[in-house]
Amino acid sequence: MSILVYIENIDGTLKKSAFELLTYARAIGELTQQDVIALNIGTVDASSVNKIGEYGVEKLIQIDSEKLTQFVNQAYASIIAEVAQHIGANTVIIANSFNGKGLAPRIATKLGAALVDGAISLPTVENDVWKIKKTAFSNKAIAHTELHTSKRVITLTPNSFEAKVNPVSLTMETYDPKLVDGDFSTLIKNIVRATDKVALPDADIVVSAGRGLKGPENWGMIEELAAILGAATACSKPVSDAGWRPHSEHVGQTGLAVSPKLYIAIGISGAIQHLAGVSSSKTIVVINKDPEAPFFKVADYGIVGDAFEIIPQLIEAIKTYKNN
């Protein structure tokens, strides 16, 4: 038996989550004495392939087909399940990403496997029962799940498991899956990336701002702060609803869920619907002029004050620190 880990790429470059998944899968492989095999669908560049071995996985199955250049949920799910059966994998690990969330239930159904979506821990395994922690109720609780099946599909929450280098030599083989016409009834014709900056779901640092910024003309300082920190930018729902920022930046219950190492919330009140998408961030810094703002209750660090005074000072302080 083995473990299959499906890694995602963007235009041929592996996503950051891929390395977290490889490290996570390798750790489960060591725990359960199983081989780990990575699966990539679509062309991937040579430096990304080399990194698969760097992160401790010895075998890559590579699938290339013109029909698979864009992500097609049904087809990718069929292929991942087919490869899992082909290699005799009892565990399939994928990212709890936008694509992964769509794939996981389909794969689990095809394999007759149990599903843990949004895992945040390694399993403990006792008498073939796997116990895994996952987030629940929009990150407000942690669920302790028990899997009593012989097959399982696990989606790993991004940023919940640190990628670690552990070089091994990699072998690669290609695989020709069955492509069923019925799996291609819904096709994505073109993808226009919202930004070429740091991708929000993958970002280690997120600088996020809300209605306290008063208007879109004030986002220059947010962009600048994000740029010097190498961070992605995000916003609250009313900000994207008002068209001040693109909808792709909206985080929260009805937007993207993120869990960066550092989340800086500027002029955001901290409504429960916003917190639902950001509260699993490792460190939360809140900047708000209202000391009673609910966000301070979940903050690791808080600054009470006017963002229009604090942010320029923060930018200058970081620049000085970097120059020294």
Q: Is 271 in the site for ligand FAD (CB under 6 A)?
A: yes
Q: Segment contacting ligand FAD (CB under 6 A): 113-121, 146-154, 197-205, 209-217? A: 209-217
Q: Is 306 in the site for ligand FAD (CB under 6 A)?
A: yes
**Nearer CB in complex with ligand FAD: 123/267:** 267
Instruction: Indicate the residue type of 300.
Output: D
**Nearer CB in complex with ligand FAD: 163/278:** 278
According to CB under 6 A, which one of 121, 253, 298, 315 is a site residue for ligand FAD? 253
Q: Residue 215 and residue 106: Cα distance in Å, rounded? A: 42
Q: Is 267 in the site for ligand FAD (CB under 6 A)?
A: yes
Per DSSP bridges, beta strands 141-147 and 152-156 are unpaired
Closest CA to 59 of 4, 124, 137, 120: 4
**Nearer CB in complex with ligand FAD: 56/277:** 277
**Nearer CB in complex with ligand FAD: 1/242:** 242
Q: Tell how far CA 277 is from the center of its chain.
A: 12
Site string for ligand FAD, 138-167 (x = CB under 6 A): ------------------------------
Q: Residue 80 and residue 44: Cα distance in Å, rounded? A: 17
SS3 (DSSP) at 171: strand
Where does 186-310 show beta strands of DSSP type E?
205-209, 232-235, 262-266, 283-288, 301-304
Sign of CA dihedral 53, 55, 60, 63: negative
Q: Are 264 and 302 in contact (CB under 8 A)?
A: no
According to CB under 6 A, which one of 252, 260, 262, 302 is a site residue for ligand FAD? 252
Q: Where along the sequence are the contacts to ligand FAD (CB under 6 A)?
A: 210-212, 236-239, 252-255, 267-269, 271, 273-274, 277, 287-290, 293, 306-308
